[in-house]
A = this chain, B = another copy of it.
Amino acid sequence: MDTLDELIDKLATDSLLKALDPPQLEQLLRTARRKELARGEVIISQGDEESDFAVCLLAGGLKVSMNSAGGREIILNYCGPGEIVGEIAMLDRGPRTATVSAVGPSTVLLLPSQAFIDAVLSNPASVVGVMRELARRARQMNLIVESDRTFSMAPRLARAIVRLIDPDADDGRLRHNPSQSDLGAFAGLARENVSRLLSEWEEQSVIRRQGRALIVLNADYLQDLADFGDEG
């Protein structure tokens, strides 16, 4: 088992926990139960009423999705190590709004609601950081709604891909190796059209394929598409 110091190092800099001081953080993490997840394993189920914990990802990857009417999957977000998910229901005690599952073998910490609240309360200065992080998420959701409403397929897929570019890799590799179906569920379009768009972009050398994986060659092009649509 890792030491707590190692765990703390892993926390992403923009995590909901970044605002906590090391002593508070250590206290919080000590109360957390650690869990290993297999690929595809579900840690939070949409609709679940017992929502008294959040999940902190230590290693691997998580997928946040809703299975909506008609059986269609909507992927809201992908998470990497250090990120927190499940805090909406943990904070407002409502039913879980989404399902969280592992995209590969993963290690998570289960943070009990009360422990999280205690940690924040014991260090009031951290409140600002927590609120800031919650605000950042709201901002991102606003962008998604705008994107859904006004943009056609290409810009929406572009935005999804840009969000998935691995910041730790020098080449334009994507995180979490999404399939075309995943990209479709993430961007809100049919898998077949993902296929067609990717072929088109490969022609134009915007992307490249390495086996099944995508490499983004021209991130600026995709970013432009994501920001301004096909017109601009």
Contact = CB atoms under 8 A, between A and B. Distances in A.
Given A131-B134, A149-B188, 6 more contacts: A68-B150, A70-B150, A91-B131, A97-B139, A138-B138, A148-B188
Interface in A102-157: 117, 120-121, 124-125, 127-128, 130-132, 134-139, 141-146, 148-151
Interface of A: 66, 68-70, 72, 74, 76, 87-94, 97-98, 117, 120-121, 124-125, 127-128, 130-132, 134-139, 141-146, 148-151, 188, 228-229, 231-232
7 tightest A-B contacts by CB? Answer: A91-B135, A141-B141, A92-B135, A134-B134, A68-B150, A88-B135, A92-B132
6 contacts: A69-B228, A69-B231, A88-B138, A91-B132, A92-B135, A120-B127
Contacts of A151: 69
Chain A interface mostly: helix
A143 to B, nearest CB: 8
A125 B117 CA distance: 10
B66 A139 contact: no
Nearest to A126: B127
A203 to B, nearest CB: 25
